[in-house]
Amino acid sequence: MFQTFQATTSPEQGPPRLKALREALEKEGLDAFIVPRADAHQGEYVADRDARLSWLTGFTGSAGFCVVLQDIAGVFVDGRYRVQVKEQVDTSYFTPVHWPETKPEDWLKEKLTSGKVAFDPWLFTKLQIDEITEGLKGTDITLVPTANFVDAIWEDQPAAPAGKVEAYPIELSGKRSPDKRQEIAEKLRDKGHTAAILTLPDSICWLLNIRGTDIPRIPIVQCFAVIHADARVDLFIEQTRVDHLGPDPAITVKPPDSFADAIAQLNGPVRVGAGSAPLAVTQILQQAEVEIAYAMDPCILRKACKNETEISGTKQAHIRDAQAMVRFLAWLDAQTPGTFTEIDVATSLEGFRAQTNALRDVSFETISGAGPNGAVVHYRVTDDTNRTVEDGDLMLVDSGGQYVDGTTDITRTIPIGQPTEEQKKCFTLVLQGMIAISQARFPRGVAGRDLDALARAPLWRHGLDYDHGTGHGVGTYLSVHEGPQRLSRMSEVPLKEGMILSNEPGYYREGAFGIRIENLIVVQQAAKLGDNRDQLSFETITWVPIDRRLIATDMLAPHERDWINAYHAEIANKISVEGAAKDWLEAATAPL
């Protein structure tokens, strides 16, 4: 098993750690300290060593931060985690704060009249600190870059990850690393940049065609790099981790602790991602008087727009994953309510994926939530929270696999027993939003923010909504959450061919049930229609039935019914299984 179900934190651990942190701040004459979820690479998923937010507070969500003052500690979380945070932190000591509705600078102005707010510049980007600084203008509150005070009090802090690096072959990447480097170098030269500092591990892994095991579930290598305008690369990583890959005359391996000195020796203008690189990088360059050119990491968009080989591999991974999902769903339908648990569901699903003999890891901890636990958007079942799945529950299962040729992410909501009319109504509204995205055609230049409302409109008409984005980018045997593409009101990045995104509207009723339906989609050139305008559309690449028992067919428009029937017919044509799973699939894909 890749997953375990032990609780990694508990609320009672937080108060003594909070006390120790406050004592350390008081000793240094500081009034507050900001503890982010992020590490120096600004990753959503962090190594155990960098899990400072969860170690201090008990909150294990993938986004958020804590602002610690002497008399209050605010834990800032978005809509995905507002149920979860109340269960994981001691609310006598930590106060949940709705973010981004409440910004940290505004909260600080409410809680402090003056003071020094400390932060670790390796864990924040320039844009993040600029925004807080701007919001504090006109006050006597100042931000102070310091060493990390959580590290100072964390006596048994784990060591940094140090797994070996593996090559990612051309048969899967679709392009040689030297060719990628030349493309990026040409882009730098066109902009007049002498070099670009790369701090995002998935960018470096894409550029160099490497993968690793530094973060569970995400096959990345934690390191920094500099790519020069002549296509040379300085890679800051322990030599022993890459010795077996053989030499590359264009890549110079340097010790990780030499990174700061090395970038201080660069000749500018040096490209730095103001929204991705640690602020510390800017500080080092400014102190060395190296000219900085702020611009997006040059690998991000190229990585996001998958080539034909990557898309083909991802599709094959989805066929394989769908076969495992169909076997799992057939197994789930055969279980007797009250005789199995959320953990049984998660372990069974991982077992079916493992039977493919191709699973490298799950792509994230399976969200296996029954009844009220399904309303916790990013619920992680543990031995302490494990719930028996009962008749009348909705079972929300959000899961994925890491295969060497692709990364999958799929959510299905399954009724245990006979669903209620209210459950069917809410499910159908979510389904209508998912279909709207699936069928969307849009002009080139449209961004995720322009499409997000399509998924919400059916819910909005009934006074309902969900507090998360509609979709995120997905990598190719890399991060299951990949930027910069998103289906979200906050996303201004135009969608382009080859981008893979999730399509996952939902609805959550706290204390009762959760609903989410998720497929992965690929941006493609749309077939010409009308006056032949240049338009894009989505190709669905997830091939798993949507539960017909939850669909209120009388709510569907003809085009929606047609889409579901066509989708299920395609699944029946693509997915081959045997025995009881074959019988289950035939019934599950029957026309409405």
Residue 110 parent element (H or E): helix 104-111
φ/ψ of 18, rounded to 5, equals -65, -40
Determine if the peptide bond prior to 484 is cis (ω within 30°): yes
- Give the chain's count of helices (H) and strands (E): 18, 28
For the entire predicted model, the pTM comes to 0.94
Instruction: Tell me, yes or no, whether 293 and 324 share the same domain.
Output: no
Whole-number pLDDT of residue 43: 81
What six digits make up the tokens of 542? 């997830």
Cβ atoms 72, 111 nearer than 8 A: yes
Instruction: Tell me, yes or no, whether 515 and 534 share the same domain.
Output: yes
Task: Categorize the per-residue pLDDT at 392 as very low, low, confident or very high, splitting at 50, 70 and 90.
Answer: very high
Instruction: Tell me, yes or no, whether 399 and 481 share the same domain.
Output: yes
Query: Checking DSSP bridges between strand 95-98 and strand 73-77, what pairing results, if any?
Result: parallel
Task: Categorize the per-residue pLDDT at 385 as very low, low, confident or very high, splitting at 50, 70 and 90.
Answer: very high
Instruction: Share the mean pLDDT of the chain.
Output: 97
Instruction: Tell me, yes or no, whether 299 and 331 share the same domain.
Output: no
Whole-number pLDDT of residue 100: 92
Task: Categorize the per-residue pLDDT at 44 as very low, low, confident or very high, splitting at 50, 70 and 90.
Answer: confident
Instruction: Tell me, yes or no, whether 279 and 177 share the same domain.
Output: yes
Instruction: Tell me, yes or no, whether 285 and 338 share the same domain.
Output: no
Give how many domains the chain has, as a whole number: 3
Whole-number pLDDT of residue 525: 97
Instruction: Tell me, yes or no, whether 220 and 296 share the same domain.
Output: yes
Whole-number pLDDT of residue 71: 95
Placement of tokens 């005789």 in the chain: 339
Whole-number pLDDT of residue 316: 98
Instruction: Tell me, yes or no, whether 491 and 388 share the same domain.
Output: yes
pLDDT at residue 440 is higher than 90: yes
Domain containing 127 — which CATH number? 3.40.350.10
Instruction: Tell me, yes or no, whether 95 and 24 share the same domain.
Output: yes
Mean pLDDT of 385-412: 98
pLDDT at residue 574 is higher than 90: yes
**Rounded (10°) CA dihedral 311, 316, 320, 323:** 90
Give per-residue pLDDT as tens, 297-330.
Answer: 999 999 999 999 999 999 999 999 999 999 999 9
Q: Give the residue among 172, 253, 254, 242 at the shortest CA–CA distance from 206.
A: 172
pLDDT at residue 80 is higher than 90: no
Domain containing 428 — which CATH number? 3.90.230.10
Q: How far apart are CA 153 and CA 19, in angstroms?
A: 10
pLDDT at residue 567 is higher than 90: yes
Give per-residue pLDDT as tens, 273-292.
Answer: 999 999 999 999 999 999 99
Whole-number pLDDT of residue 79: 86
Task: Categorize the per-residue pLDDT at 1 as very low, low, confident or very high, splitting at 50, 70 and 90.
Answer: confident
Instruction: Tell me, yes or no, whether 172 and 124 share the same domain.
Output: no
> Does 4 map to a domain?
no
CA angle 469, 521, 550 (to 5 degrees): 70
User: Which of residues 303, 324, 351 is at a domain's end?
Assistant: 303
What six digits make up the tokens of 354? 């493992």
User: Which of residues 303, 326, 348 is at a domain's end?
Assistant: 303
Q: How far apart are CA 494 and CA 106, in angstroms?
A: 31
CA distances from 192 to 14, 559, 568 (A): 49, 51, 52
The residue range of the domain holding 147 is 11-153
Mean pLDDT of 72-91: 92
Instruction: Tell me, yes or no, whether 115 and 24 share the same domain.
Output: yes
Task: Categorize the per-residue pLDDT at 62 as very low, low, confident or very high, splitting at 50, 70 and 90.
Answer: confident
The identity of residue 583, as a single letter, is: D
Q: How far apart are CA 30 and CA 494, in angstroms?
A: 43
